[in-house]
A and B are shown apart, each in its own frame.
Chain A
Amino acid sequence: MKIKNPVEDSSRWLFFLSLVWALVLFFIGSWWIYLLSNFENILAHTERIRITKMIFWEGGSFLLLLILLSVTLLILYVRNQSKTRALQAFFASLTHELKTPLASIRLQSEVINELLAAKNDASLNKLSARLIEDTGKLETQMDKILQLSRIERGGELNLTTLKLIPFIKNIVKKLGIELDVQIESNNPNVVVVADEFALEIIIKNLLENTRNHTASKNVNIKIEDDGKQVHLLYNDHGEFTGDKQKLGTLFYKYNSSKGSGIGLYLSSRLLEKMKGELSIHGDKNLLFSLKLASGEDSNA
């Protein structure tokens, strides 16, 4: 199953409906003008004035009503669009404003952590480690919101070539999640064309979904590189009981207590921007399939 873009889908419908509406309006208007100008020839002299007047007033009010309605709809649409944009810009700037104090909190806690390491106090060490872990979680959420608003406003990515396997291993290590991640690949030096930060968000999101929604601690990642495309299959042996059709829709949360509902949707949008694709296979045990452009190494 491919992940659909609800925003694009709905705007396509909206465009189609407006087109139909405009055509109806055009034909009614033309028909009315035709009647007005040609009734003189069709009707007898005695009836003509009365009927022309009737058509003029009735048709005129009807047409005016339709035009008014269209204008109102147009105004509402434009307002809604600008409101959405303003809201996105607000979230982006708010999240951005939160980043500097968060950086400060993280720095202080890491310094505390280092100072405590020398003192050998197990309980304090545990507390400071949790503090760092939580700032990490907050950071991931903020990155997702920022990237989402950036992508929705047409922001571009910076594509480079990078080595996929050590890249994934490093994310697993950095996240510090207790998962057993096995990577299998037909090319141990597989290189992909991707935006480093975007790919980090995508991989992190998959791992975090596994942590939050799956009982199994085993993750299998199978990578196939055919020289043109790199196909990554992510299997966390989880059991999905939600609505698969809705999976990946913006704000859809399968398990409502956790997550923001933007991870998979954002991942698929980011992959699209990297000329890749995200699709979901399987019924209960979901397989996440990522396609990325292969970055063949010169002289390798």
Chain B
Amino acid sequence: MLNILIVEDETNLGITLEEYLSGLGHKCAWAKNGVEAMALFRANRPGLVLMDIGLPDTNGLDLAVQFRKERKDFVLLFLSALNDPATKVNAFELGAEDYITKPFALKELTMRLDRILKTQTSIETLPEEITHGALKIWFRRYEVQDADGHILALSQKECAILELLYKRQNEAVPREEIIEKIWGEDKFPSNRTVDNYIVKLRKWCESDPSHSLDIQSIRSIGYKLTINK
């Protein structure tokens, strides 16, 4: 079960989403504007926020920034009628899991929710803080610490990839499997897209001179995370 906060100013859409998702067994709250959303965010501590962008008193992107300042351990999913690349890029820079454009297919949304739920359940089986040499991982907060002590925020996908590789440590995980588990069957990222996500994780690993964690690329297969300490 997910604890969901729906931020949506269109009444019918908000109500239907709330009723439907509650019907699926999730805990749902619905806010019509920025002020309500902030209050519910603080009171309910949701694990997932479904965010509209055009809100009467604020902008969904700005609101998400405020949310992130308060807490980092929630998944952000944008649901908006705006479909221009600049807004989408901004949304992903805020670490959004996805950007769904309205009108959306219900199946599209439920599939995303299922995947988020899977990652969350999987993350919950891991300890709160994981330390390997000079590197630290907090999966629940979507953050890692490099060898110089800097805390880096991970996007939803980076975190999910790291979690997948971490759970299958010392084993080569095929790219196809990463794509299927992280992106889902209705997205078509090329292998290069996956590589781009790995680059940041690898940089983080390489900040530790003693190589406590190592992400290797296995040619024409995928990636392997090895733990040396």
A residues adjacent to B (C-beta < 8 A)? 96, 99-108, 110-111, 114, 135, 139, 143, 146, 150, 155-158, 160-164, 166-167, 170, 174, 191, 195-197, 295, 297-300
Contacts and interface: CB of A to CB of B under 8 A. Distances in A.
The 7 closest A-B pairs by CB, nearest first: A158-B85, A103-B102, A103-B103, A99-B81, A161-B190, A110-B106, A104-B13
Contacts of A107: 13, 16-17, 20, 103-104, 106
Given A160-B189, A300-B191, 5 more contacts: A107-B20, A110-B106, A167-B188, A297-B192, A299-B220
Interface of B: 10, 12-13, 16-17, 20, 81-86, 88-89, 101-107, 186, 188-193, 195, 217, 219-220
B103 A99 contact: yes
Given A110-B105, A298-B195, A103 B81 contact: yes
Contacts of B17: 107
Contacts of A156: 85-86
B220 A300 contact: yes
A100 B188 contact: no
Given A170-B186, A170-B188, A161 B106 contact: no
B215 to A, nearest CB: 14
Contact of B192 (A114, A174, A191): A191
B16 A111 contact: yes
A157 B81 contact: no
A166 B188 contact: yes
A103 B100 CA distance: 11
Contact of A298 (B83, B85, B105, B192): B192
Nearest to A297: B191
Nearest to B217: A299
Contact of A158 (B10, B89, B102, B192): B89
29 contacts: A99-B102, A100-B10, A101-B12, A102-B103, A103-B13, A104-B12, A105-B103, A106-B103, A106-B104, A106-B106, A107-B17, A107-B103, A108-B12, A108-B16, A110-B105, A111-B20, A135-B103, A143-B83, A157-B85, A160-B189, A162-B190, A162-B193, A170-B188, A295-B192, A297-B191, A298-B192, A299-B195, A299-B217, A300-B191
A161 B193 contact: yes
B190 A191 contact: yes
Given A107-B16, A299-B191, A158 B103 contact: no
Contacts of A167: 188
A238 to B, nearest CB: 28
A162 B189 contact: yes
A221 B20 CA distance: 40
A111 B19 CA distance: 10
Nearest to A150: B84
Contacts of B193: 160-162
Contacts of A143: 83
A115 to B, nearest CB: 10
Contacts of A174: 105
A102 B107 CA distance: 16
Residue of B88, B89, B188 ringed by the most chain A CB atoms within 10 A: B188
Contacts of A99: 81, 102-103
Nearest to B16: A107
Nearest to A101: B10
A110 to B, nearest CB: 4
A203 B26 CA distance: 36
A298 B191 contact: yes
Contacts of B103: 99, 102-103, 105-107, 135, 139
A156 to B, nearest CB: 6
